[in-house]
């Protein structure tokens, strides 16, 4: 396969480190893969939006469309022995780690075929065998957890790293600084990835952060600001960060990105930002369109071929939804399963303990 | 042979670290300082700084890191200098540790121990004197153990470290220096105690007294006093607060027909409240008297010695309640 060298959209901005080169190596095959993966993620989230509106998905549902380049670029730089942990906007991270569409939709609809057998929901996807540790609902709590995964990697001398994702809202959490301090003291191979989509729910970053330069907020920890809408820049930054973390300990990557949807499904996403802002990002910075242009510009595929890929993605998503709908709701006995690994025969009770109880194995 | 609770905990940690290289200890002052209460004495020297880790004073940070390491498959023992400080990290204990196995349908187990002194110490005021047993025991996904004697401390801590689920292990500072006889069996490195099983510390016929941790000693002393007055009290050392050994408690009450629950924690929504409910649900028709509850006073812990004494259960409180349950005392005329 021919090697292409492509310049990132903007230079990296660095804090306490020499930034990597703007010239990123890729191949036609990789670019086609990026397009395919991002198209699938985009379609998946749009379908989740419809399912939610059709009341087939309950509760909270946070969509990732707009941010796909972060998940896809990161995967291009690492292996499944490396770990990823994120917050509740987790569907596409799960997909990137090798999760399936059927298990995703089944989980979203609370079916037994879901990746957490319907007991986790939108915010609690996991794929431990591929190094994906969730799917966490408490803003910022995943950051120490991710540093703990990195601790495990260092303890067992695995020569792998953990990518801990969090948003610009979580970037202000005190526990980030607690965990980063320890990670730096102990040289943990932890990469803190701030997915800066510029709004913590409905609060613009500048209203919540005295310094929104998140890549610099590790103070003594090096950082890199990355165009998170440019999948090649993300890949380059993650390659750089992994090498850095194995040698020197933690590093922060601030991914400048954008979510097209509101914070969650209850948020139309238009009260705290203008429609012009959203459409402006879509027109000028969309991660999928950027890759489309690269593919067309380098004569790797035709407009029609790319359209076919998108059609195929839609078909895969539709088929997965149909299949997920066939998956049954969990058996009532599932209420009491997996409370413990080892339940010692404890009795666990339902709402009316004389009516519903179970012995935990 | 006699052994202090401190030595029992130290030897349990030592043996489990020696048996399994995945076990490590982290917390404030556990290493170079040898432990704020010297529970980890000698472990840094023996196992090195990779396995005995001094943390900064940042409970949320290091507890989260411990849980992440458990996700990865290690077996962390996280020491809180006291459980009062675990409040800084309770989100991680509940949301990151207790619920992960369930939310992930068994993918993300959390084989770890949170341990440290719990309950009232002496003269340290409200923010350093509180029992968290009922707080943690109300949460499914956690196991909560509380040892009384040296044998308990060894057997339960070793069981907790080997257990595949998150265990909250509530020690008591005032017991660390107390000596108890230990059997040869309990000194064996293979010794563990079963999680979820209470121990009948003293058999009796007329009234059941449930207690855990330091209050077991008080209950035993109360039983001595009661026996002189012809009341035979059965003392149950709960050992495990979650799972709660409802069977042992109910079987005892069905025999004695009377129950006094004892705990240091606040009365409202306490361990005693749950035990009382269990007995009413399972053994109501066996009760010959209302269930009596002895608990900490319903106030933050005061500093002054006389007030502090009033705020925690005393032996005479247990004696009085047991007599009341046996209809052997005149009800108090009025509140003090």
Paired strand residues for A26: A4
Q: Are A255 and A290 part of one and the same domain? A: yes
Distant-in-sequence, close-in-space partners of A325: CB < 8 Å, separation ≥ 6: A56, A105, A109, A111
The residue with tokens 């995703």 is A104
Size of interface A-B (CB pairs under 8 A): 160
CB–CB contact A148 B163 (8 Å): no
Please tell me what DSSP assigns to residue B45. Answer: H
Each residue of B4-62: pLDDT tens digit?
999 999 999 999 999 999 999 999 999 999 999 999 999 999 999 999 999 999 999 99
Here the tokens at position A94 are 């799960």
Coil, strand or helix at A151: helix
The pLDDT of residue B4 is 98
Here the tokens at position A319 are 């088929």
CB–CB contact A145 B70 (8 Å): no
Q: Are A27 and A17 part of one and the same domain? A: yes
Q: Above 50 in pLDDT, residue B73? A: yes
Q: Could you give phi then psi for residue B24, rounded to 5 degrees?
A: -140, 160
Distance in angstroms (rounded) separating the CA atoms of residues A175 and A184: 14
| CB < 8 Å to A354, chain B | 281
**CA of B20: how far to CAs of A190, B51, B80, B251, in Å?**
25, 11, 22, 38
CB–CB contact A181 B103 (8 Å): no
Q: What is the dihedral of CA A147, A150, A151, A157, to 10 degrees?
A: -170
The residue with tokens 């059927």 is A102
CATH number, domain of A121, equals 3.40.50.970
On the 0-12 / 13-18 / 19+ scale of CB atoms within 10 A, B208 is buried
Distant-in-sequence, close-in-space partners of A46: CB < 8 Å, separation ≥ 6: A65
Q: How many domains does chain A divide into? A: 2
Report the interhelical angle of A101-108 vs A28-53 (nearest 10°): 20
Q: Are A279 and A352 part of one and the same domain? A: no
Q: Are A264 and A355 part of one and the same domain? A: no
Q: Which of B214, B257, B268 is nearest to B234 (CA)?
A: B257
Q: CB-hemisphere CA count at 13 Å for B266? A: 12
C-alpha A238: how far from its chain's center? 14
Among chain A residues, CA nearest to B95: A138
Report whether A103 contacts A113 (CB < 8 A): yes
Q: Above 80 in pLDDT, residue B333? A: no
Report whether A15 contacts A223 (CB < 8 A): yes
Each residue of B78-98: pLDDT tens digit?
999 999 999 999 999 999 999
- Strand A357-359 and strand B2-4: the pairing is unpaired
Distance in angstroms (rounded) separating the CA atoms of residues A280 and A276: 6
Q: Are A61 and A93 part of one and the same domain? A: yes
Q: Which of A252, A254, A236 is nearest to A196 (CA)?
A: A254
Closest CB to A341: pick one of B61, B63, B109: B109
Q: Above 80 in pLDDT, residue B330? A: no
∠ CA B161-B162-B165, nearest 5°, is: 80
Q: CB-hemisphere CA count at 13 Å for B190? A: 1
The residue with tokens 């030595």 is B7
Report whether A41 contacts A287 (CB < 8 A): no
Chain B interface mutation, best of A121, A142, A148, A333, highest count of B Cβ atoms under 10 Å: A148
Helices (H), A24-111: 28-53, 68-77, 91-96, 101-108
The pLDDT of residue A1 is 76
Q: Are A155 and A244 part of one and the same domain? A: yes
| CB < 8 Å to A156, chain B | 72-74
**CA of A120: how far to CAs of A64, A123, A170, A356, B236, in Å?**
18, 7, 21, 22, 39
Q: What is the pTM of this model?
A: 0.97
Q: Are A319 and A342 part of one and the same domain? A: no
Distance in angstroms (rounded) separating the CA atoms of residues A82 and B138: 36
Q: Above 70 in pLDDT, residue B332? A: no
Catalytic (active site) residue B128 = yes
Residue spans of beta strands (DSSP E) within chain B: 2-4, 23-27, 52-54, 75-79, 113-117, 143-145, 167-171, 179-181, 199-202, 207-211, 233-237, 240-242, 259-262, 292-294
Here the tokens at position A30 are 């990789």
Q: Which of B26, B40, B32, B103 is nearest to B69 (CA)?
A: B26
| CB < 8 Å to A344, chain B | 194-196, 243
Each residue of B114-131: pLDDT tens digit?
999 999 999 999 999 999
The pLDDT of residue B335 is 47
Coil, strand or helix at B91: helix
Q: Could you give phi then psi for residue B177, rounded to 5 degrees?
A: -90, 0
Q: Are A240 and A361 part of one and the same domain? A: no
Give the range of the structural domain holding residue A300, as residue numbers without chain letter.
4-330
Q: Are A241 and A223 part of one and the same domain? A: yes
Each residue of B216-253: pLDDT tens digit?
999 999 999 999 999 999 999 999 999 999 999 999 99
Among chain A residues, CA nearest to B164: A341
Average pLDDT in the B200-229 region?
98
Written as tens digits, the pLDDT of chain A (361 aa) is 799 999 999 999 999 999 999 999 999 999 999 999 999 999 999 999 999 999 999 999 999 999 999 999 999 999 999 999 999 999 999 999 999 999 999 999 999 999 999 999 999 999 999 999 999 999 999 999 999 999 999 999 999 999 999 999 999 999 999 999 999 999 999 999 999 999 999 999 999 999 999 999 999 999 999 999 999 999 999 999 999 999 999 999 999 999 999 999 999 999 999 999 999 999 999 999 999 999 999 999 999 999 999 999 999 999 999 999 999 999 999 999 999 999 999 999 999 999 999 999 8
Q: Are A32 and A14 part of one and the same domain? A: yes
**CA of A318: how far to CAs of A45, A322, B213, in Å?**
12, 6, 58
Q: Which of A67, A349, A289 is nearest to A195 (CA)?
A: A67
Mean pLDDT of chain B: 97
Distant-in-sequence, close-in-space partners of A341: CB < 8 Å, separation ≥ 6: B101, B106, B109, B111, B164, B165
Among chain B residues, CA nearest to A176: B61
CB–CB contact A337 B105 (8 Å): yes
Q: Above 60 in pLDDT, residue B334? A: no
Q: How many CB atoms lie within 10 A of CB B90?
A: 17
Distance in angstroms (rounded) separating the CA atoms of residues A131 and A78: 11
The pLDDT of residue B331 is 54
Catalytic site residue from B15, B28, B59, B292: B59
What is the distance in angstroms between the Cα of A114 and the nearest Cα belonging to chain B? Answer: 10
Distant-in-sequence, close-in-space partners of A69: CB < 8 Å, separation ≥ 6: A38, A228, A229, A230, A231, A234, A257, A287, A290
Q: Which of B299, B293, B104 is nearest to A90 (CA)?
A: B104
**CA of B131: how far to CAs of B63, B83, B301, in Å?**
19, 8, 11
Catalytic (active site) residue B201 = no
Q: Are A341 and A206 part of one and the same domain? A: no
Supply the DSSP string of A259-321, one letter for each residue: -SS-SSTT--S-SSS-HHHHHHHHHHH-HHHHHHHHHHHTTSS-HHHHHHHHHHHHHHHHHHH
The pLDDT of residue A185 is 98
Interface of A with B in 61-100 (CB under 8 A): 83, 85
Closest CB to A178: pick one of B61, B73, B246: B61
| CB < 8 Å to A147, chain B | 61, 64-65, 68
Report whether B9 contacts B39 (CB < 8 A): yes
Interface of A with B in 100-139 (CB under 8 A): 116-117, 119-120, 124, 126-128, 133-138
Sketch out chain B's domains with CATH numbers: 2-187 (3.40.50.970), 199-325 (3.40.50.920)
Report whether B129 contacts B119 (CB < 8 A): yes
Each residue of B285-318: pLDDT tens digit?
999 999 999 999 999 999 999 999 999 999 999 9
CA end-to-end span of chain B, whole Å? 44
Q: Above 80 in pLDDT, residue B329? A: no
pLDDT band at B336 (very low <50, low <70, confident <90, very high): very low
- Strand B259-262 and strand A203-204: the pairing is unpaired
Supply the DSSP string of A70-82, one letter for each residue: HHHHHHHH--TTS
Q: Are A203 and A289 part of one and the same domain? A: yes
CB–CB contact A182 B70 (8 Å): no
Interface of A with B in 333-352 (CB under 8 A): 337-348
């Amino acid at each position: 396969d021919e090697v292409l060298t492509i310049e990132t959209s903007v230079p990296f901005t660095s804090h306490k480190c020499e930034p990597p080169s703007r010239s990123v190596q890729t191949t036609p095959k990789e670019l086609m893969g990026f397009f395919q993966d991002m198209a699938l993620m985009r379609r998946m989230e749009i379908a989740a939006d419809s399912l939610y509106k059709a009341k087939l998905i309950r509760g909270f549902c946070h969509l990732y469309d707009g941010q796909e380049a972060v998940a896809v670029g990161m995967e291009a730089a690492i292996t499944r022995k490396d770990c990823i942990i994120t917050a509740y906007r987790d569907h596409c991270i799960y997909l990137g780690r090798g999760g399936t569409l059927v298990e995703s939709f089944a989980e979203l609809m609370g079916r037994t075929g879901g990746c957490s057998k319907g007991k986790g929901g939108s915010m609690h996807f996991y794929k431990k065998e591929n190094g994906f540790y969730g799917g966490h609902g408490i803003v910022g709590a995943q950051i120490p957890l991710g540093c703990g995964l990195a601790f495990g990697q260092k303890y067992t001398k695995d020569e792998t790293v953990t990518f801990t994702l969090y948003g610009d809202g979580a970037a202000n959490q005190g526990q980030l600084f607690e965990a980063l301090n320890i990670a730096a003291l102990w040289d943990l191979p932890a990469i803190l990835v701030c997915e800066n989509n510029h709004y913590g729910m409905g609060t613009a970053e500048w209203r919540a952060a005295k310094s929104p330069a998140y890549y610099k907020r590790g103070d003594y920890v090096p950082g890199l600001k990355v165009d998170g809408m440019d999948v090649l820049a993300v890949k380059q930054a993650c390659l750089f960060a992994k090498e850095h973390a194995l040698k020197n300990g933690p590093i922060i990557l601030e991914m400048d990105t954008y979510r097209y949807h509101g914070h969650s499904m209850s948020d139309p996403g238009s009260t705290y930002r203008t429609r012009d802002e959203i459409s402006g990002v879509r027109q000028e910075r969309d991660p999928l369109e950027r890759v489309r242009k690269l593919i067309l510009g380098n004569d790797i595929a035709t407009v029609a071929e790319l359209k076919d890929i998108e059609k195929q993605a839609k078909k895969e998503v539709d088929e997965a939804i149909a299949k997920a709908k066939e998956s049954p709701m969990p058996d009532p006995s599932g209420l009491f399963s997996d409370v413990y690994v080892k339940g010692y025969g404890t009795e666990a009770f339902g709402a009316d303990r004389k009516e519903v109880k179970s012995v935990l194995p | 042979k006699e052994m202090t609770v401190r030595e029992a905990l130290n030897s349990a940690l030592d043996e489990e670290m020696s048996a399994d290289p995945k076990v490590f200890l982290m917390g404030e002052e556990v290493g170079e300082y040898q432990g704020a209460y010297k529970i980890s004495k000698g472990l840094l020297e023996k196992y090195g700084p990779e396995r005995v880790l001094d943390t900064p004073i940042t409970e949320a940070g290091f507890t989260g890191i411990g849980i992440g390491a458990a996700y990865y498959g290690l077996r962390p023992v996280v020491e809180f200098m006291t459980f009062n400080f675990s409040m800084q990290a309770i989100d991680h204990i509940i949301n990151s540790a207790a619920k992960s196995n369930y939310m992930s349908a068994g993918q993300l187990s959390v084989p770890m121990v949170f341990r440290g002194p719990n309950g009232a110490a002496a003269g340290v005021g409200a923010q350093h004197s509180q029992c968290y047993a009922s707080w943690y025991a109300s949460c499914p996904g956690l196991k909560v153990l509380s040892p009384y004697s040296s044998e308990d401390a060894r057997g339960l801590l070793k069981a907790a470290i080997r257990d595949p689920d998150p265990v909250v292990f509530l020690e008591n500072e005032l017991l660390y220096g107390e000596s108890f006889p230990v059997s040869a069996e309990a000194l064996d490195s293979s010794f563990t105690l079963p999680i979820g099983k209470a121990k009948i510390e003293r058999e009796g016929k007329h009234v059941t007294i449930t207690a855990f941790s330091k209050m077991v000693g008080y209950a035993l002393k109360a039983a001595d006093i009661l026996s002189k007055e012809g009341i035979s009290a059965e003392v149950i050392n709960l050992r495990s607060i979650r799972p709660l050994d409802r069977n042992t408690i109910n079987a005892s009450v069905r025999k004695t027909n009377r129950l006094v629950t004892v705990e240091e924690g606040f009365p409202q929504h306490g361990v005693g409240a749950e035990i009382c409910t269990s007995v009413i649900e399972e053994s109501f028709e066996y009760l010959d008297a209302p269930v009596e509850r002895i608990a900490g006073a319903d106030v933050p812990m005061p500093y002054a010695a006389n007030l502090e004494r009033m705020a925690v259960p005393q032996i005479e409180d247990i004696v009085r309640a047991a007599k009341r349950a046996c209809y052997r005392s005149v009800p108090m005329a009025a509140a003090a």
